[in-house]
Amino acid sequence: MDPLPDFASLTDDELELLLRATEDEEDTISRRRRRLHERIDELRAERVARIRGQVEAGTLALPAPAALERQIFEGTGDLPHEHEDAPPPDLPALSDDALRTLVLELEHEEDDISLHRRVLHGRIDIMRAERERRRRGRHVGPDELGPILGGSR
């Protein structure tokens, strides 16, 4: 992601265009994140159904507690390539281990997408604050940022 431009060199119109483009990018990444959540939820539901079946059959082998742990962030920091047109996996054909691995891979992808989204939110906040500073024609203090960034005046 490119660093923020020097705001002093941007006209009001250029700032507004940059803000709109960043908001559009955030909207696109948010839609992608929601689709990814749907895929993860579908795979997790399959895992839960399998585990319930094993519990009912009395065949559930409990994993070691360490196998259930997950780091808060396990992404790479890079925005992953979109693979939306990939066909959904044949869930019944997946082994339990393959299903778990697929869930973990998508969770790591979600980590990276969420990180990118948070960076975009920060950029949007900074540009909105700059736009408001220009409108007011003066410095915007920290106590004034809440209403500006929250969308109220």
Helix (H, G, I), strand (E, B) or coil at 32: helix
How many domains is the chain partitioned into structurally? 1
Give CA–CA dist 111/119, Å, rounded: 12
Query: Percentage of the chain surpassing pLDDT 70?
Result: 85
Give CA–CA dist 16/18, Å, rounded: 5
Residue 2 lies in a domain: no
Helix (H, G, I), strand (E, B) or coil at 139: coil
Average the pLDDT over each of 25-29, 33-37, 57-61, 92-96 and give the range with the smallest value: 57-61
> What is the DSSP-derived secondary structure letter of residue 72?
S
Give CA–CA dist 12/20, Å, rounded: 12
Of the ranges 17-21, 47-51, 147-151, which is most confident?
Answer: 17-21
Average pLDDT over the chain reads 85
Specify the pLDDT at position 37. 94
Residue 3 lies in a domain: no
Specify the pLDDT at position 85. 65
More confident residue, 149 or 128: 128
Q: How far apart are the first and last CA of the chain?
A: 30
Residue 44 lies in a domain: yes
Residue 137 lies in a domain: yes
More confident residue, 134 or 141: 134
Domain that holds residue 25: 9-78+86-150
Residue 37 lies in a domain: yes
For the segment 54-80, the average pLDDT, to the nearest whole number, is 76
Specify the pLDDT at position 31. 94
Specify the pLDDT at position 80. 75
Specify the pLDDT at position 140. 64
Give CA–CA dist 11/22, Å, rounded: 16
